[in-house]
Chain A
C-alpha cells in the first residue's frame, strides 16, 4: 500500500528516487501529457458553464484522481515511489528543505525568474518546458514575491472547521469548505500557494513545476482531514445539477470514475500521519 509522506521527512534516498522517476516521465513524454490535460481543464472550467477540474465541487475528487494517475505513472518507473505532500503552513519559507538543490531546487533569479539549481533547472538539461503559454522554455519561480505569506495553521484550521462541503451555485462564488480550500473565497488556501510560488505555478500550465504534485497532495490530505472532522457531511450536490459533477456522475476526462468512487482515499493510499 502506498504511503504518502510529508516531504520534510523524506530520506535522501527517497528524494533521489522521487526526482529520478519524475525525470524519467519527463524524458519519455508522459509528464507533458499531464500538463496538457491540466491546462485544458483550467481553460474550459467556467463559473457559468461546464466545470469539472476547478471552481466546482469536483475540484477535490478530480485532483485526487489526477494525482493517482501521476503517482501510478511514477510507480511504473519505480514501484517504491509515492507522492510526498508539502504542508506549506509549516514549511513556509524559502529555506525549507523542499527547495534545496537535492530536491526541487530554489527560487528563480531576479532578472528573469529562472531556477538556477536543483534537478529541474534548465541548465541541467533534463527539464524542457514543452507545454507552455509563452516563449520561455525554462522553469521559473519567484517564491514569496507576488504574495508575501503562505497560509498559516490558524487559517487552515478556520477552513477545516467549515461543516458544509460545498454550496450552490457550486462555483467560485460559493460558500463552504471546497471553495474556501480552493481559495476563490475567504482566507484563500490553494490559490494563494500557486501565487506564492510564482513562475509556471501561477499559470494554467502549473504542473510544469514538480511542486504542483506536492501542493495538491497536501490539499488532498486536507480533504481527508476535513472528512475525519465532519463524518456526517458528504460530497454535494447529489443529483440533477446542470454543468456540475454530481456525486454519482462520471468525471471527464476518464468518464469511468465518479466522485463517489474517490471519497475514501484509503482504497488507494494512506498518509504518514
Chain B
C-alpha cells in the first residue's frame, strides 16, 4: 500500500509538472529557460509588519517593463524587480543599489517605503 500511494503521488506530481511546462510554453516571448534553471526559490514572510512574497513567474509582457522571470509583491502589490548579469537584484524603488537576492530587494523596498503603500507599475 505505501508503495502504491507513493507511486500515485509521483504520477500526480509528474502530471502537475507537465501542466506547468505546457503553461510556460504558451506564454509568448518569455525567457522560459530562466524560469526553470536558476530562478531563485519562492519566499513568503512578514518583514517589518508587511508581507513580502517572491516567486518565479513568466512576465508574459503584461507590463511595459521587461519580461521578468521573477515576481515580488509587497502587501500584494507587485514590486518591479530586475536581475543583473552578475546575479544581483534591484527594484524600482532602489534601482541603483544591487543586493544579492530578490528577498533582499523586497526587504530594501520595505525599508525605503517607510510604511507607504506601493503603487502598481505606472501605466506609461
Q: Given the complex of chains A and B, what is the CA–CA distance between A155 and B79 in angstroms?
A: 33
Which residue of chain A has the shortest Cβ distance to B113 in the bound complex? A134
By a CB distance below 8 angstroms, the chain A residues around B98 are 184
Contact of A173 among B86, B113, B124 (CB under 8 A): B86
A239-268 vs B: 1/0 string, CB under 8 Å? 000000000000000000000000000000
Q: Given the complex of chains A and B, what is the CA–CA distance between A131 and B95 in angstroms?
A: 16
Q: Is A160 an interface residue (CB 8 A)?
A: no
Task: Find out whether the CB atom of B85 lies under 8 angstroms from the CB atom of A47.
Answer: yes
- Tell whether A202 pairs with B97 under 8 Å between CB atoms, given A39-B122, A40-B64, A131-B122: yes
User: How many residues does chain B have at the interface if contact means C-beta atoms less than 8 Å apart?
Assistant: 29
List the count of A-B residue pairs having beta carbons below 8 Å apart. 95
Task: Find out whether the CB atom of A44 lies under 8 angstroms from the CB atom of B64.
Answer: yes
By a CB distance below 8 angstroms, the chain B residues around A203 are 92-95, 112
Task: Find out whether the CB atom of B124 lies under 8 angstroms from the CB atom of A194.
Answer: no
Which residue of chain A has the shortest Cβ distance to B77 in the bound complex? A134
By a CB distance below 8 angstroms, the chain B residues around A39 are 92, 122, 124
Interface residue ranges of A188-202 to B (CB < 8 Å): 190-192, 194-195, 202
Which residue of chain B has the shortest Cβ distance to A190 in the bound complex? B96
Q: Is A128 an interface residue (CB 8 A)?
A: no
By a CB distance below 8 angstroms, the chain B residues around A191 are 96-97
Contact of A43 among B64, B83, B113 (CB under 8 A): B64
B residues neighboring A (CB under 8 Å):
31, 63-67, 80, 82-86, 92-98, 112-114, 116-119, 121-122, 124
Given A43-B63, A44-B66, A46-B82: 12 more A-B contacts, CB < 8 Å: A42-B95, A49-B67, A132-B119, A133-B93, A135-B116, A135-B118, A136-B116, A173-B86, A195-B97, A202-B94, A203-B93, A205-B92
